[in-house]
Amino acid sequence: MPEWPEMENYRIRLSGLIAGQTITGVDVTRAKSINVEPALFEAELTGRTVWFIERKGKMLIFHLDNGKRLLLHLMLGGVMHFGTDEEAPERSVQVALRFQRGTLRFIGLRLGYLHLLTQKETEAQLKELGPDPFDQRLTLERFKERFKGKRGAIKTALVDQHVLSGIGNCYADEMAFEAGIRPDARIPELAPESWERLYSAMRTVLHDALNKGGYMELPLTTDDTLTGGYNEHCLVYDRSGEPCRRCGGTIVQAEISSRKMFYCPNCQQAR
């Protein structure tokens, strides 16, 4: 599932492609991916201009010139592609927004969605989200406060969007590795220095992943050489049985709260 780096990468790149551009047409091939009737969805969007694109956690918000928003959550398997009809990948497209410069295609929206909402409806859907990892108000002390009263594993809390927004399975494991903490370490047992390392690791890992384009499988455009570049840089996630690039030990896969977790038993012993 796309997380903070993937969605922020999309936001930056799409801002340069469609911000200020007018939607000239809409195609809906899967009505369940939207929240209104396809005919109304098309009528509401055609002729509207995308003012700017905002990210909240794992979601993107397309702000339209009439005050309405498009709220996108790609969920598991969702990707996007922007280009001409000739450049379109051979993939099933659930929704497409046409612009003069090309078409923005939403692919793999079997679990994800693109909803047309008012400002108030958008705010209602987002109000329970925790702070962004790079929120300037999220100091170390406030970061620690987000976990106050929780007694479960640190990974379980890190992927809880009410605690922090934008972190999922991949980067929770990568952050724990960077901090030298096992993902299943219990929150009450974490030492003060572990919290400091985890806070620093959160920003280091997410920023590095953004600079490398995240781990998406499909480039956003045909000339996009960045998106998906982080795939080969994951240090533990989805690398079960492979050697640790730091110590040479073996990466282990386990399960916690019905989620996979990947870690190095040698490098991640601290609590």
Question: Residue 271's pLDDT band (boundaries 50, 70, 90)?
Answer: confident
pLDDT in tens, 95-110: 999 999 999 999 999 9
Given 56, 58, 98, 197, which residue is catalytic? 58
Given 2, 5, 183, 219, which residue is catalytic? 2
Cα–Cα distance measured from residue 50 to residue 68, given in angstroms and rounded to the nearest whole number = 10
Q: Are 34 and 28 in contact (CB under 8 A)?
A: yes
Question: Residue 270's pLDDT band (boundaries 50, 70, 90)?
Answer: low
Q: Is the pLDDT of residue 268 over 80?
A: yes
CA 87 vs. chain centroid, Å, equals 25
Q: How many CB atoms lie within 10 A of CB 247?
A: 11
| Residue found under tokens 């999922």 | 168
Q: Is the pLDDT of residue 215 over 70?
A: yes
* Sequence-separated (6 or more) residues with CB below 8 Å from residue 143: 195, 199, 202
pTM of the model: 0.95
DSSP character at residue 161: T
| Cα–Cα distances in angstroms (integers) from residue 184 to residues 20, 196, 235, in the given order | 45, 17, 17
Specify the pLDDT at position 217.
86
Instruction: Reply yes or no on whether 11 is catalytic.
Output: no
Given 150, 259, 260, 271, which residue is catalytic? 259
pLDDT in tens, 112-161: 999 999 999 999 999 999 999 999 999 999 999 999 999 999 999 999 99
DSSP character at residue 244: P
Share of the chain above pLDDT 90, in %: 95
Instruction: Reply yes or no on whether 142 is catalytic.
Output: no
Instruction: Reply yes or no on whether 38 is catalytic.
Output: no
Tokens of 262: 């990947």
Instruction: Reply yes or no on whether 259 is catalytic.
Output: yes
- How many residues appear in the chain? 271
